[in-house]
Chains A and B, each alone.
Chain A
Amino acid sequence: MLETIGISSVEDLFTQIPEQLRTVTPSPCPDGLSEQELRFRVDALAARDRLPGPRCFLGAGSYRHFVPAAVRALVSRGEFATAYTPYQPEVSQGTLEHIFEFQTCICELTGMDVSNASLYDGASALAEGAFMALRATRSESIVVSAGVHPEHRQVLATYASGPEFAIHELPLDPGPGTTVVPGRAAAAGAAGTPELPPGTGALLVQQPNYLGIIEDLAPLAEAAHAAGALLVVSVNPAPLGLLEAPGALGADIVVGDAQVFGCPPSFGGPSVGFLACRKEHLRQIPGRLVSQTVDEDGRVCYTLTLQAREQHIRRARATSNICSNQALSALAATIHLALLGPKGLQDRAALCLRRAHHLHSRLCALPGVRPLADGPFFNEFGILLPYPAREFRAAMRAHGVDPGVPVERLWRGQTMNERAAQIAETALLVAVTELNPPEALEAYIQAAGAVLGNRPAGWCDDPERVAP
C-alpha cells in the first residue's frame, strides 16, 4: 500500500500536521485490553451498581416497564444497528419502513396528523416544540406550566438562552395540582386568572404533569388559541390507550418521550423523543420525515422527504440543527407497540393505573401521609410526608424499598419556583408499573407503616406546616 501511495512510511502521511502540534503518545500509556480482560473490567463496574428490583418505585420521567425479549432480539440485528441514516433509500428500506411505522404509531397515540422520525428525548423535544410554535406564530415569547418536569424546563431555558426567547411560568392550582387556566373570569367564590401575556406564541404543558396529575387540556387549548398561541403538550404516551389523545383536545404540537415503550431506563438514556403536529405546520417540523412513495417500477417504497427543512440542505436557515436522532430507540418503541397492540396498550395502562391507585389509597390511609394534590392521576402520584422525603426514603431503603423520587431531587442545579419550594422538602413522587407486583405494593405499605410509626426527632404531623 505504501508503494502505491508513493511513500516509505505511514508517518509520511502526517507531515502536513505542523511539527509543534504532533502528539507524543501520553505516558503512562495504557495498553489495549483483550475482549476477555475488557469483560472482567466492565463486568466488575456493572456489578458495583445496585439493580432496582420489584420494590423500586422510581419514575419522574424515566419509567421501568417490562421489555419483551423480541424487542432486544430484533433491534440488536446488525442490519438495523450498524446502518447509517437512510440516505440511499434503495438499500435502506428496512430502516425507512420502520421509521414510517414509528411516525404512524406516534400519530395514532397523539391524535396528530404528522410525526417526525424522532428527536433526542422528551426534554429536548419540548424545546424543539416550543421553537417550532414560535416560528409558526412569529413570536418570541413562551409560557410554560409549572407542571412541566423541572429538568425539561431547564433544558427549555438553556435552548431559549441562545435566541433569548422570553419564558413566563403559569402556576399550578395547589388543590387539584393542575395548571391554572389563564384568562378565566372571576366566578362565584373564585377569583379570575390572569390572561396570557401579550405576544405569547407557545403555551407548554405536560400530560400527566410532573406531579403525576392529569391536566384538563381542552380549556388550556382554548386559552392558548384565544391568545393566538399554539398549545404544545409534552405527553407520557404510556396512558394514551386510555386517555383521550391530546390532538382531540386541541393540542397543536405534541412532544414526548417514548422510552416507556421498548427502552430500559439505562440510567436516563438513550430514550426516544418525538414531535407530532397538525398538517398545517408540516413545513416547520424539525428533524427527519419518511414518506411512502413508489419506485421507477411503481413498487411501493419509502424515502426521506421534505429535506429542504433540514440542516444539510438549508444550513443556517434550517428548522433545527438536528442530524443524528434516536432511530434505533424509535425502532424499539415501534416493535414494543406492535407487540402490545391496541389491547395490550390499554391493558398495560389499566394494570399500572389500578396498582398505583391501590397503593395511593393504602398509603394515604397511613397516619401522617397526605396526597400532594387531589387531581386525577395515572401511574404516578405525589404524597406529602410528615418530615423530609429524603429521610423517609433512607428509612424505607433500609427496609428494602426505594419508595420514590423526592421532589427536591428534580430541582438539583436550579432554583425552585415558589410552589415547589413550599412542598418539595416533604414531597415524594411514587411511580407504579407492571414491574411492581402486588407483593411489592404490600411490602411498601408494611415498610411505610413501620417507618412512619417510628417517629424520628423533629416529627411534625401538623398539616398546616406543608399546606399549599
Chain B
Amino acid sequence: MPAPLEPPIFAHSVSGRGGVDLPPAGVPETDIVDLLPGVALRCSPPTLPSVAESQVVRHYTRLAHLNHCVDTGFYPLGSCTMKYNPKVNDEVAALPGFAYLHPYQPEEDVQGILELIHELERGLLVVTGMHRASLQPAAGAQGELAGILMIKAYHREHGGTARDTVIVPDSAHGTNLASATMGGYNVVEIPSSPRGIVDQETLRAHLSERTAAVMLTNPNTLGLFEEDVLEISRLVHEAGALCYYDGANLNAIMGKARPGDMGMDVMHLNLHKTFSTPHGGGGPGAGPVAVSERLEPYLPLPLVTRSADGTYRLDYDRPRSIGRMKGFYGNIGVLIRAYCYLLSMGAYGLAQASEDAVLNANYLRARLQSLFPLPYDGPSLHEFVLTASEYGSGAAHDIGKRILDFGMHAPTVYFPLIVHEALMIEPTETEDVSTLDRFVEVMKQIQRELTEDPEMVRTAPHTTPVRRPDEARAARQPVLRWSPSSPGVVHSSGSQA
C-alpha cells in the first residue's frame, strides 16, 4: 500500500511537545479541584496532537499543496461563481479595528463597523432593487430559510395559514426544496418547459389557495433568463402567494436587471459568489436576505439604522420580526470583504463584471457546443449546461475527472437534474481569453479521447495527488475520525499500522 501523502496532524505527535507558550497566571495557583468543587473533571486530557509550531506549519503547508483553488487555476464550477478574490479585501477584514471588535461593545465604540454594515446594505439594495435587507444569514441556504420563515409570518398575519405548499421548478437548487421543508412547507416541483424555463400554464395549473410561495432562480440553473418573469410574478401574486428569488446567479445581471423590478418579494444573495468573497473550502459565506416593502416588518433582527444625528445603532424594536437566524449580526468578516468589493467596483464596475461574465460564458459556449450538445439552447447568460449523454452513463463524471489532469477544476456535474450527464460551466468574468482557449483545447482533447482512448478518460485523473477515492467503501465503512488504529495510518515512526 502506498504511503499517505501527508498523515493527519495526530500522527505527527511526539509526547511532551506543544506549539504555544502561555503567560503566567499572575494570580494564586489554587488547585483546580478546589476552584471547581463537585464538578465532574476529566481524568485524562483529550487526545489532541502534541506538536511544535514548526511541525504545524509544515503539515498545513503540505496539505495546502494538495488543493486546487482559484489562486492556482481555472475553476469553472457552474452555479458557484468561482471568481478571483482580491487580496486587499482579506487584509481589510483582518484590521484590528474590525477583527478584534466584540459584539457586545456599546454602539458608541463600534460606529465604524456599523456604518460599514449599513452602507453595504444600501449598496445591495441598489443592486437588487429591493427595499430593505438583513445581512445576518451566514450563507445562502440560511438566507433562504429566513425568507421562507418571513413568508410564513406574512401569511400567518394575512389569513393565509392554509397555504402549506411551496412551488419550485425542477431545475432548482436542492437548497430551495430543503429550506422550504425546513420552514414547515410541502414542496411541489413543476417541470420546466421544453425551452428550459418555467412554463406559465404549468405554473398556473399548480397555483392555488394552498400556495404560499414560488421560488425562482433567475437566470435559472441552465443559465437562461426567465423571460416571463413579470407574468409569473403577476400570476403568483394573483393567487395570493409570494415570490422568492434565489440570488445564486445574480452575477449574470448586476446593473442589467433587478429582482425588485421583477416583482420579487424576498431574495437572498450569496456574497461568496457574486461579491467575490473567498469560499474558504466550503465557507464561511454570507447570505443576506432582502425584501420588498410588505415583508420588511418580518426581517430578522437587529437591523442597523442611521439616526438623525448621523450615528448608527442596532435596531431591535421590530415586534413583527421572525426573530434571529444566528447569534449576533452575521459573518462580519465576509461582509467587510463584500463591502470592499462594492467600493472597488462601483456601479459601472459591477455592470462590467456581469457583462464580462456573460461574454466569457457565451464565448466558451460558442466554442464548446460543437463538441458536446447543449440540450437547452436558448440564449445563455453567465453559465451554460452541456450534456455528455452520448458517451454513456458516467461520462460527465469521467470528463470532470480528466479535466483535473490539466490543472483545471471540473465543471459542476449531474446538475441541474433535468439534463442527463450534465456539465455545468461557469467561467466567471475574471478569466482571460487565453485561459478560456486553453480550456477549449482540453475539452477537445478529452472529446477525442472519448472515442479514441476511452480508458484514458474512464481512469482519470492520472496526475493529481490521489486517484479516485473508493466512495463506496467510505459510505459502507465510514472512518470519520482519526484513531491510532485507523487502517493505513502512518505513525510518526514511519511504520504502517
Contact = CB atoms under 8 A, between A and B. Distances in A.
Interface stretch (B39-47, B199-207, B387-395, B449-457): B39-47
A95 B343 CA distance: 31
Contacts of A114: 480-481
Interface stretch (B106-114, B236-244, B289-297): B106-114
A92 B142 CA distance: 25
B178 interface: yes
Contacts of A353: 32, 35-36
B48 A345 contact: yes
Contacts of A105: 46, 48
A284 interface: no
B470 interface: yes
A354 B23 CA distance: 13
A316 interface: yes
A158 B324 contact: yes
A107 B479 CA distance: 13
Of A87, A217, A310, chain B has the most CB atoms within 10 Å of the CB of A87
A124 B30 contact: no
Given A26-B126, A327-B283, A339 B178 contact: no
Given A90-B461, A266-B101, A321 B324 contact: no
A104 B10 contact: yes
B178 A289 contact: no
B68 A92 contact: yes
Interface in B305-341: 314, 316, 318, 321-334, 336, 339-340
Interface stretch (A240-248, A417-425, A459-467): A240-248
B379 interface: yes
Interface stretch (A51-59, A184-192, A196-204, A224-232): A51-59
Nearest to B99: A264
A154 interface: yes
A99 to B, nearest CB: 8
A89 B75 CA distance: 14
B59 to A, nearest CB: 8
Contact of B100 (A70, A265, A268, A341): A265
B20 to A, nearest CB: 5
Interface string B25-60: 111111010011111111001111111010011011
Interface string B80-111: 10100110101011111111111111101111
Contacts of A350: 25, 32
A18 B113 CA distance: 39
A347 B18 CA distance: 11
Given A291-B474, A311-B178, A324-B141, A79 B325 contact: no
B468 A296 contact: yes
Contacts of B149: 158, 161-162
B379 A162 contact: no
B30 A74 contact: no
A97 B489 CA distance: 13
A15 interface: yes
Contacts of B39: 214, 243, 376
Contact of A354 (B25, B50, B86, B348): B25
Given A88-B409, A104-B481, A294-B470, A161 B322 contact: yes
A269 B138 contact: yes
Given A18-B227, A46-B96, A341-B49, A327 B67 contact: no
A240 B48 CA distance: 12
Contact of B56 (A39, A64, A335): A335
A94 B42 contact: no
A457 interface: no
A92 B330 contact: no
B446 to A, nearest CB: 15
Contacts of A29: 346-348
Interface residues of B, number: 205
A350 B27 CA distance: 11
B300 interface: yes
A155 B104 contact: no
B138 A270 contact: yes
Interface stretch (A301-309, A365-373, A446-454): A301-309
B159 interface: no
A38 B479 contact: no
Contacts of B10: 101, 104
A296 B473 CA distance: 11
A85 B282 contact: yes
Given A103-B481, A115-B480, A162-B182, A32 B348 contact: yes
A90 B410 CA distance: 11
Contact of A325 (B37, B45, B57, B282): B282
Interface in B451-490: 459, 461, 464-471, 473-475, 478-482, 486-489
B494 interface: no
Contacts of B98: 46, 49, 266-267
Nearest to A56: B102
A62 B138 CA distance: 16
Contacts of A380: none
Contact of A268 (B70, B96, B332): B332
A396 B171 CA distance: 58
B433 A342 contact: no
A58 B103 CA distance: 9
A223 B92 CA distance: 49
B50 to A, nearest CB: 4
B111 A49 contact: yes
A41 interface: yes
A406 to B, nearest CB: 9
B253 interface: yes
A123 interface: yes
B113 A267 contact: yes
Interface in B180-198: 180-185, 187
B66 A163 contact: no
B359 A341 contact: no
Contacts of B82: 84
Given A100-B482, A324-B284, A338-B19, A25 B69 contact: no
Contacts of A305: 471, 474-475, 478, 480
A166 interface: no
A22 B355 CA distance: 13
B493 to A, nearest CB: 16
B174 interface: yes
Nearest to B461: A90
A35 B97 contact: no
A155 B145 CA distance: 12
A104 B482 contact: yes
A22 B256 contact: yes
A338 B279 contact: no
A7 B366 CA distance: 11
A311 B248 CA distance: 15
A38 B281 contact: no
A1 B359 contact: yes
A352 B221 CA distance: 51
Contacts of A294: 1, 469-470, 473, 488
Nearest to A303: B469
B140 A324 contact: yes
Of B35, B144, B173, B229, chain A has the most CB atoms within 10 Å of the CB of B35
B28 to A, nearest CB: 7
A124 B32 CA distance: 32
A356 B35 CA distance: 10
Interface in A61-89: 61-62, 64, 68, 70, 72-74, 76-89
7 contacts: A22-B256, A32-B343, A314-B174, A325-B283, A328-B278, A353-B35, A355-B25
Given A20-B230, A257-B327, A324-B282, 19 more contacts: A70-B57, A82-B71, A88-B404, A91-B68, A100-B8, A100-B481, A104-B482, A108-B48, A109-B46, A120-B138, A120-B139, A121-B328, A289-B480, A293-B474, A303-B471, A311-B178, A315-B178, A328-B280, A438-B26
The 8 closest A-B pairs by CB, nearest first: A268-B328, A46-B97, A328-B280, A78-B71, A438-B26, A339-B19, A158-B323, A268-B103
